[in-house]
Structure 1
Amino acid sequence: MNFKYTDDQIEIRRMVRDWAQGYLAPKAAEIDETNEFPMDNVKALMEQDLMGIAYPEELGGGGADAISEAIAMEEVTAACAATGSIMTGHYLGFDSLYLQGTDEQKERWLRPALEGEKLAAFCLTEPAGGSDPTATRTTATEDGDCYVLNGVKHFITSGAYADFLSVFAMTDRSKGRDGLTCFIVEKGTPGMKIGAGDDKMGIRGARTHEIIFEDCRVPKENIVGEIGKGYRLALDVIDRGRIGIAAMCVGLSQAAFDAAVKYSKEREVFGRPISKFQGISWMIADMGTQLEAMRMLTYYAADLKEQGVNFSKVASMAKLFGAEASHKIVTTALQIHGGYGYMKEYPIERMYRDQRILELFEGTSQIQRIVIAGQILREAK
């Protein structure tokens, strides 16, 4: 890949970084401490046209390319990881409509989501598991001109605050993966209840809740795609979402790296900055190398997506490598801070907690390895 930033990508990075560092970063510690959903940040993201930056202008999006989208997610996450998670969750929530929605559905839900008028959420994971969509227990039973949903979804980012949710339910459990269907459920629909909120280790402002469906009637016109085709749709949405998570890995790692470099040049031991010691300087060299490697792999996946070719394997690679490399980078950054890194007065303590989820959601590192190995072996001759 002959990679060079375009003028538009450079300008998007400058614009989003300046805004995010000025508006989001000063609020990140308070959001973490209060454990409250940062609706002001969400509204600000919408006002900045960052909630649909790489989607077609004719649908209400920004018309930018997929690398620009990754750059924007990277810069938002560098300033506030919780807000970055809300941003990626919103994209997951409306992507099923973009991929398989009807023209009427796109006008009703997708356009407002892209234009910053509605917040979306993605409802697949359940208490009994999330990595295997075929284990979905939420059911959707046909009843006249509606389907009646019953079940519980778990760990739903923005679920308590979203205007609509993309909900995956079994319309025919006997068919396994061919029995899964996607529905749009609007906020306030009778039978949809907001359950318990989660008290998480990190990205605390990206509030997640249980969503409970008890005889929740959803009109048939809210079905996204075909009945029984939700399994492939869910995987397609997740593949696209993994690039967003990889971009989050880059953003958080960049923030941790910058904090470590700054601290190493300011902190003096034995009469000189610790950056002058070979042990520290080599740690910085390794961090910088890992950071650039994950960034390029993420952009490669985004570029494949932009070209419209199969990017599933590379997206999983970007997410796997990014998540595990970010663990090393953030851990090393905290180590460079020494005892001060363990104190809440330094942002690296929060970054350390925020990072851990990156190895878990959108498929754990173990799931990524299954996906990657499976595709490599299928491609082998």
Structure 2
Amino acid sequence: MISFQLTEEQEVVREAMHDFAEQAIRPAARDADEESKLPEALLAQIHELGLIATQLPAEHGGGGEERSPVTMAILLEELAWGDAALAAAALAPAAFAFAIADAGTEDQRRELLPLFCGESFHAAALALVEPGALFDPAKLATRAEARDDGFVLSGAKSLVPLGDRASHFLVVAASGDGRDAFVVPRDAAGLTISEPEKNLGLKALPTTTLRFQALELPAAARLGGSTGCDVQRLVDGARVALATTMTGVSRAALEFCVPYAKDRRAFDQAIAQKQGIAFPMAEMHIETDCQRWLAWQAASQLERGLDSTRAAHLARAYSAEKSMWIADQGVQTLGGHGFIREHPVEMWYRNARTLSVLEGMLAL
């Protein structure tokens, strides 16, 4: 039997994260966007919630709680409803930390996981996306060539979150006939980190370009050691997170537009009663739910250890297209008000556009 009913624990998580997003994230979103700067106090608050540390092994300083991709999807949607850029900043280290916890060697876990279990927010990031509209995570230009007792890394990664402060990067590269992930410290010789990029949306989230010029890595830097890791699972997890974030943006736009359309009057009638407004808003609701179900399906397959590549790709691609459309409809619903900063819809539109191209241009 198929059910979309949340468990009692998931409902508690959803309500708690929604309250936090409403009270802490959303009030900080506009200033963070205008200043293109992360609020450090908010990052400290998010760290205190233990969203990452509680799900890391107890022997490495974590809480030892069981991790659920479905629950993480529910949690991330609520944070992204508050603001996509701040949600992405808060959970960007999770992509690194959880990969180490799941696929790292014992030495890698012992060295790296305690960093995320301390008293303050610690930044690290997954470096997957490469420059260029034709980026394909299955055909990476960044390469790791085996040399002697290690690897030589060459290439570039773009749109790396928290690149201005991350202590380590998990770099996905072509290696031999397949793909591997490598732990690259910030101070590695041969690594050049750009200044934060100036993007259309997600302006509060500092992203950078990493360039690797014959960067030498020891064999121990390979995630999983000599056996390597399942890189496709890392890609699938990133796609689910991206789809869930876009779902949060879509829901934010929808929930802002509905009461606005009911209150806004034109020709002695609420604009919500006009078919040109009401029908698109109904479609916005349908598409937001569709995004969520696709993301949950992919997250459920990840949780059960199944092949989630198809589901994760469909969730990301569908959300990329529909979140842009929903955000655009949000601007249209508000009319001229949709273009001014007095209302957050224009910011959500910019965020949706930026999120949609984080894995290359959708049309290509």
The amino acid of 2:262's aligned partner reads K
2:302 paired residue among 302, 305, 314: 305
Equivalent in the alignment of 2:163: 159
Offset from partner CA, 1:287-315 (integer Å, 9 cap, x none)? 11111222122222222222222222111
Separation (CA, whole Å) in 2 of partners of 1:361 and 1:249:
11
- Deviation of 1:40 (Å): 3.3
Equivalent in the alignment of 2:220: 221
1:277 paired residue among 274, 284, 289: 274
- Deviation of 1:352 (Å): 0.6
Equivalent in the alignment of 1:189: 188
The amino acid of 2:43's aligned partner reads V
Identity of aligned residues (%): 26
Separation (CA, whole Å) in 1 of partners of 2:281 and 2:174:
49
Equivalent in the alignment of 1:51: 52
Partner secondary structure for residue 194 of structure 2? strand
1:332 paired residue among 329, 333, 343: 329
- Deviation of 1:347 (Å): 0.2
For residues 82-231 of structure 1, what are the structure 2 equivalents within 5 Å?
A: 82-113=85-116, 118-127=122-131, 130-140=135-145, 142=147, 147-169=151-173, 175=176, 177-178=177-178, 180-214=179-213, 216-226=215-225, 229=228
Q: Is the 8 A contact 2:144 2:151 kept in 1?
A: no
- Deviation of 1:222 (Å): 2.1
Equivalent in the alignment of 1:22: 23
Offset from partner CA, 1:40-78 (integer Å, 9 cap, x none)? 333322211123666666662543522221111111111
Q: Is the 8 A contact 2:219 2:225 kept in 1?
A: no
Separation (CA, whole Å) in 1 of partners of 2:219 and 2:344:
48
The amino acid of 1:18's aligned partner reads D
Equivalent in the alignment of 2:293: 296
Q: Is the 8 A contact 1:88 1:241 kept in 2?
A: no
The amino acid of 1:9's aligned partner reads Q
**Which one has a larger percent helix, Structure 1 or Structure 2?**
1
Assess, with a 3 A threshold, how the Cα gap between structure 1 residues 247 and 56 changes in structure 2: closer, same or farther. farther
- Deviation of 1:338 (Å): 0.7
Assess, with a 3 A threshold, how the Cα gap between structure 1 residues 106 and 207 changes in structure 2: closer, same or farther. same
- Deviation of 1:209 (Å): 0.9
Separation (CA, whole Å) in 1 of partners of 2:212 and 2:70:
37
Separation (CA, whole Å) in 1 of partners of 2:302 and 2:257:
33
Equivalent in the alignment of 1:247: 244
Assess, with a 3 A threshold, how the Cα gap between structure 1 residues 207 and 321 changes in structure 2: closer, same or farther. same
Assess, with a 3 A threshold, how the Cα gap between structure 1 residues 109 and 98 changes in structure 2: closer, same or farther. same
Partner secondary structure for residue 195 of structure 2? strand
With structure 1 as the length reference, what TM-score do the two structures score? 0.84
Q: Is the 8 A contact 2:70 2:299 kept in 1?
A: yes
Offset from partner CA, 1:4-45 (integer Å, 9 cap, x none)? 111111111111111111111111111111112444333322
Equivalent in the alignment of 2:69: 66
Partner secondary structure for residue 125 of structure 1? coil
Of 71-80 and 32-41, more deviation after overlay is shown by 32-41
With structure 2 as the length reference, what TM-score do the two structures score? 0.88
Separation (CA, whole Å) in 1 of partners of 2:30 and 2:242:
21
1:13 is the counterpart of 2:14: yes
Assess, with a 3 A threshold, how the Cα gap between structure 1 residues 355 and 182 changes in structure 2: closer, same or farther. same
- Deviation of 1:95 (Å): 4.1
Of 147-156 and 298-307, more deviation after overlay is shown by 147-156
Unaligned residue ranges in structure 1 (runs of 5+) = 368-381
2:234 paired residue among 237, 242, 256: 237
The amino acid of 2:24's aligned partner reads Y
- Deviation of 1:149 (Å): 3.9
Q: Is the 8 A contact 1:91 1:241 kept in 2?
A: no
Q: Is the 8 A contact 1:191 1:214 kept in 2?
A: yes
- Count of residues in correspondence between the two structures: 359
Equivalent in the alignment of 2:80: 77
Separation (CA, whole Å) in 2 of partners of 1:52 and 1:362:
28
- Deviation of 1:253 (Å): 0.7
Partner secondary structure for residue 208 of structure 2? strand
Q: Is the 8 A contact 2:222 2:228 kept in 1?
A: no
Of 239-248 and 116-125, more deviation after overlay is shown by 116-125
The amino acid of 1:40's aligned partner reads A
Q: Is the 8 A contact 1:54 1:66 kept in 2?
A: no
- Deviation of 1:96 (Å): 3.3
Q: Is the 8 A contact 2:167 2:186 kept in 1?
A: yes
Q: Is the 8 A contact 1:184 1:224 kept in 2?
A: yes
Q: Pairwise CA RMSD of aligned residues?
A: 2.6
Assess, with a 3 A threshold, how the Cα gap between structure 1 residues 188 and 228 changes in structure 2: closer, same or farther. same
Separation (CA, whole Å) in 2 of partners of 1:193 and 1:34:
25
Of 96-105 and 85-94, more deviation after overlay is shown by 85-94
The amino acid of 2:184's aligned partner reads V
